Amino acid sequence: MPASGGFASLREAAARTRSALAGHVSAVFGRTELDGSAWDNLEEALITADVGANMTDLLLERLRGRQRRGDVRTLEDLRRALAGELLSLLDGAREPEAFLPEGLTLVLVVGFNGVGKTTTVAKLGRHWQRAGRDVLLVAGDTFRAAGSDQLSVWADRLLLPCIVGQRGGDAAALAFDAVSSSRARGYDLILMDTAGRIHTKTNLMEELRKLRRVAERQDVHIRTLLVLDATTGQNGISQARAFREAVGLDGIVVTKLDGSAKGGALFAIASEFGAAVRFVGTGEGADDLAGFDPEVFVETILSPELNNV
Amino acid sequence: MFDALSDKLQAVFDRLGRKGRVSEKDVDEALREVRLALLEADVHFRVVRALIERVRERAVGTDVLQSLLPAQQVVKIVHEELTQLLGEPGRLATASTPPTVIMLVGLQGSGKTTTAAKLAVHFKKQGQHPLLGPADPYRPSAIEQLSQLGKQVDVPVYLGPERQAEALCRAALQAARTKHLTPLILDTAGRLQTNDDLMGELVRIRDDVKPSEVLLVADSTIGQEALKVAQEFHSRVGLTGLILTKLDGDARGGAALSVREVTGVPLKFIGIGETLDAMESFHPERMASRILGMGDILTLIERAQETVDAERVQAVQRKLRSGTFDLEDFLEQLRQVQRMGPIDQVLSMIPGLGRQLGKANENEAARAELRLTEAVILSMTPHERRNPELIGGSRRRRIAKGSGTSAADVNRVLSQFRQIQQLMRRSIPANSAKRNIDLTKLFH
């Protein structure tokens, strides 16, 4: 497990990426001519990064158009043009404003099963505690066996207060209690973990809607964060759509970016839903959380060989 | 959203068909659609390339070009190739001297712990006495999670003082021996295939406990990464099978093909729910249909099964066969459909219907349509619902007024009802003297 984490390690990764690109041009751009195989390699790089076949077609078409117009002549042009196109897809993913408002705020952390919600809640607790917020963790995964225990172990380690729901208990009631007790005790940020759910199950999504509705009656700012696993392929789009429809989407956290998965589904998600990526998870430690840097993210997509560094 | 592949192919050939014979180039155009479908299902790029090449050879070499129904021919070939690549469900091996050891390995969050408990239930049902061995000392409460699940399904869990994965596994094996429990199911920690230290740990565990099965547990939503993950786990630890989890969502599960192609190990089980008996063997043909995004009527029936009780389904089936399906039943069906999930998704599972409904199956529009239909039917008297032919001019005006709609809306609902009545009379009872039995027996 990576010992170092946070912004420093992401910067290191970025530096490594850039030097790798500068030192020896990557597999995709390994030749100097812009021949058919360059286009084929490009297609493979995008698709194997989970960018998706439709999105890849769209990108390649735009790049070919630019080649016809004479904007793109060399491989270096192509690389730069593609980076530009990818970055523009992430426009919606750039943080337009601070995620957290002032005053009592409830952050609902939602997502599919096994994407890393609980670990993310712990990391976020650490992050915002350091930023000077008074954080309360809420172990709202009342479904999974020991789901609540997992977060309370983290809370002990991080010296953060944590309230725990009964297994099988009502998450909406728990959120209600969390808000009331935050008022009484002076917390201003509630980070609530929720049970993982398959986004096509109407009853489970309805439960999430209810959670939000109940919380809304309490005069508290509400923010929803969707956790997406970087290894997820095209199903990520369906996940984002369903969670957004149920509880809205104020931001995305991409987890497990420390492996070799590129998380390319994010391009389609960011451009379709305009959701800002707020954080990326880069390991299992409490500090393995970083802000999202679109440039770094795009560079990683463009450099397949980095996987083996 | 998921227009059935066969519909798309049909559209390609409809467009081409007008000029007569289907040429090799036409087949290529159709194969582009197949390729897209497979990539959207997260089958790995290179696996798709190999598959398309095989399908192309067969399609061009044989009868598609002369076929009257080229789209169906291409679909059939693709479907066969996929079914063949998926292979039959693998059986679990048993050790010649008990206890048999089964190791579950995989990435973080793939569902190993839940799968361990499901396997325990599976063996218990077969009359065996399994032992669960937690081997994840890293994730907070991972061991606690397995021990709670063990209690829930009444299977013993090895809970020793060991703090290290290898030691935990050795001690669990010793416990299984002394207590005569078999198989021992080892739930190892999730790990990245790129983490050399943790991969080394798995190798040491394997060498210590000599498992009969090393099963890769993979999430069905996994993307292109599946190939590298399987390759690396296979080359380091030596896999004997795959379990694909979370197939109760809308993930197409193309990873199954990637893993099969790159490791050759069989798919042994699929996970289709969070309840602990939701582990099943799989049907290669159905899995192939799902990966291709073709209508999956059986999944639809299964999902219906979740929300509707079996007796009611049977009652509707009876009514459909006897032709007494009336507006009361229609209303009931509408409400059930609404409970089953996003409407466009439900409809897309019905082969052919995706195309018939065209753009009307956009979620919101469809929902509004359902609400209107419901309002119209609710404004009828029970007598009218059972005998829609009674509805003439004045009744129609009353119903329109009562439901806040127009006479034209009422007519539309009635004609829709008649269409559905016909459609159901044609599709369900026709191919399903068998399926009627399936409904109650097959999905208990």
Rg from Cα positions in chain A: 21
Q: What is the mean pLDDT of residues B93-103?
A: 95
Nearest to B291 by CA among B31, B43, B3: B43
| pLDDT top residue among B410 and B329 | B410
Q: C-alpha distances in angstroms, B115 versus A233, B192, B252, B290, B427?
A: 22, 19, 19, 22, 37
Chain A residues with CB under 8 Å of B139 CB are 150, 284
| B406 pLDDT above the threshold of 70 | yes
Read off the pLDDT of each residue in B338-355 and give the average, rounded to a whole number: 55
Complex prediction ipTM: 0.87
Alpha carbon distance B118, A96 (integer Å): 45
Specify the pLDDT at position B435. 35
What mean pLDDT is predicted for residues B373-402? 90
Structural domains in chain B, sorted by start: 5-86 (1.20.120.140), 101-284 (3.40.50.300), 297-441 (1.10.260.30)
As a whole number of angstroms, the distance between CA B224 and CA B232 comes to 14
Own/partner pairs, B156-162, CB within 8 angstroms, 24+ separation:
B156/B131, B156/B132, B156/B181, B157/B131, B157/B132, B157/B133, B158/B131, B158/B132, B158/B133, B158/B134, B159/B134, B162/B137
pLDDT of residue B1: 28
- The domain ranges of chain A are 6-93, 105-249
- pLDDT, residue B356, reads 44
Does domain A105-249 sit in CATH 3.90.1150.10? no
CA of residue B398 relative to chain centroid, distance: 45
Token pair listed for B286: 């159905």
Most confident of A255-269, B273-287, B406-420: A255-269
pLDDT, residue B13, reads 67
Residues in chain B with CB shorter than 8 Å from the CB of A201 are 248-249, 341
Per-residue pLDDT band for B306 (boundaries 50, 70, 90) equals low
Lowest average pLDDT, out of A58-62, A85-89, B110-114, B353-357, goes to B353-357
Does the beta-carbon distance from A200 to B144 stay under 8 Å?
Answer: no
Task: Compare B126 and A24 and report the one with higher pLDDT.
Answer: B126
Give the pLDDT band (50/70/90) at residue B307. low
pLDDT bin (cut points 50, 70, 90) of residue B274 is confident
B251 with A259: Cβ contact below 8 A? no
**The predicted structure's pLDDT at residue A24:** 37
Residue B103 and residue B115: Cα distance in Å, rounded? 11
pLDDT score of B369 more than 60: yes
Q: Which residues pair with B374 in a beta bridge?
A: none
Is residue B324 within 8 angstroms of chain A, CB to CB? no
Q: Mean of the pLDDT values across residues B265-276?
A: 90
Tokens 């789209």 locate to B71
Its pTM stands at: 0.78
Q: Which CATH architecture has domain A6-93?
A: Up-down Bundle (1.20)
- Give which of B5, B107, B108 to mutate to test A binding, by max A Cβ within 10 Å: B108
List Cβ neighbours of B196 (8 Å cut-off, separation of 6 or more): none
From chain A residues 174-193, the ones with a CB under 8 A of any chain B CB are: none
Task: Please give the C-alpha separations between residue B235 and each of B4, B102, B202, B263, in angstroms, as whole numbers.
Answer: 37, 18, 12, 9
**In this complex, which of B111, B152, B252 lies closest to A145 when CB atoms are compared?**
B152
Instruction: Check CB contact under 8 Å for B140 and A238.
Output: no
Weakest-pLDDT range from A3-12, B126-135, B264-273, B378-387: A3-12
Residues of chain A whose pLDDT is less than 50?
A: 1-8, 10-11, 13-27, 30, 305-309
Q: What is the pLDDT of residues B224-256, one digit of tens each?
A: 999 999 999 999 999 999 999 999 888 999 999
Model confidence band, residue B265 (pLDDT cutoffs 50, 70, 90): very high
pLDDT at residue B321, as a whole number: 65
Q: Is the pLDDT of residue B352 over 60?
A: no
Q: Is the pLDDT of residue B38 over 60?
A: yes
In this predicted structure, what is the pLDDT of residue A19? 43
Chain B, nearest residue to A202 by Cα: B341
Mean pLDDT, chain B, as a whole number? Answer: 82
Look at residue A2 in the predicted model and tell me its pLDDT: 38
| CB nearest to B248's CB, from A52, A145, A198 | A198
Rounded to the nearest 10 degrees, the angle between the axes of helix A202-216 and helix A171-185 is 20
Q: Higher-confidence residue: A72 or B68?
A: A72
Average confidence (pLDDT) over B419-438: 51
